[in-house]
Structure 1
Amino acid sequence: MAHRSFLPSARAANVIIALGAFALGWAIYVRYALLEQSSVGLACRTLETLTCETRATVIALFSQSAFGIAALIGAILQLIRPSLIMFTLALMATCAGLVVYNNNLAGLAGGLLLISFARPWRGARG
C-alpha cells in the first residue's frame, strides 16, 4: 500500500499558519519591545513585573539555545514520523528561534521541516 507524502489538509493548514504567525508575532514583540530596548533593561533592574520576568526568562532560554534546540528536535521527530502536531510545534519553535537569536539551529530545523513534506505519511487520505 503506497502512502502519500505529508501534506496537511486545507483546514489543518489554516490552523498551522495561524499558530505559526502567532509564534512569529510573539517572537518579534519579545525581541523588539523587550530585549532590544535599553529602557526596558534599565527599568527591569529596579522593578519586578511580569514583563521583566518574561524578559529574563527569554534571555535565559536563548542564551542556552533552547528555541533552536527545541526546533531542531521537533523537526527531526517530524522528519522521522510526520504528524500535524509535531509539524506545528516544530514550526512554532522555528519561528521563535529565527527571530530570537537562535537562527543557526532554527534555520536547520526549517530546512528539515521542508524536507519532511517529501516523507510518506500514514495519516494521508486518498
Structure 2
Amino acid sequence: MKSNQLTDSNARALFVPSKRDAAMLATLGLAALALALFFRYAVIQNTPLALSCEAGEESLICHVRLAVILLFTWNVFGVVAMVAAIQLWRPNVTAFGIGLVFALLGLVLYNTRLSALAIALLVLSLARPAPEAR
C-alpha cells in the first residue's frame, strides 16, 4: 500500500493545454482546414483555372497554385508536421500548434501518410507528463 502512495505522489501532471491555448489551437486548426479546403477545391482542382494556368497565364493565383502543388509534391506539409510532432518527448504548445496546422494542411492536401502519423504522435503527446517548470 505504501508503494502505491509513493507512485501517486511522484506522478507528474499530464501535458494539457490551458483553456486559452486550447481555444487558440482550435482556431488555428479550423483556419488551417479552411485554407487547405480552399486551396484544394477552389485553386488546385478548379478545372478552368488549371487550364488557364497550364496555358501560360501569369497571375498571382497561378503562382500560388504552382507553389502549393510543389509543396505537396515534395511532402513538405507532412515532413514539417512530423518534425513538429517530435515534441512528443518534451511537449509544448508552440510545437503542438505548428504540428497541428501542418498536419491538417497535409491531410487535405495529399500528404496523408506523414500527416496522419504526425496527428497520432500529437495525440500521444497529450498523454505525456508536462515539462517541469524551470
User: Do Structure 1 and Structure 2 share a fold, with TM-score over 0.5?
Assistant: yes
Pick aligned residue for 2:76 from 47, 50, 66: 66
* Higher RCO (Cα < 8 Å, 6 or more apart): 1
TM-score normalized by the length of structure 2 = 0.87
| Partner Cα separation in structure 2 for residue 2 and residue 52 of structure 1 | 54
Q: Which runs of 5+ in 1 are unaligned?
A: none
The alignment's TM-score, normalised by the length of structure 1, stands at 0.92
In 1: Cα distance, 2:29 partner to 2:42 partner: 19
| Cα distance in structure 2, aligned partners of 1:95 and 1:14 | 16
Q: State how far apart, in whole Å, the 2-side matches of 1:95 and 1:74 are.
A: 13
Query: What RMSD over aligned residues (CA atoms) do the two structures have, in Å?
Result: 1.4
1:122 CA displacement? 2.1
String of CA shifts for 1:40-99, please: whole Å, max 9, x gaps: 1111133212111110000001001111111111112x2021111000000000100000
The letter of the residue matching 1:26 is L
Which segments of 5 or more consecutive residues in structure 2 lack a partner in the other structure?
1-9
Matched length: 123
Shift of the 58–20 alpha-carbon distance from structure 1 to 2, 3 Å rule, reads: same
Mapped to 2, the partners of 1:86 and 1:24 lie a distance apart of: 18
Cα deviation for residue 2 of structure 1 reads 4.4
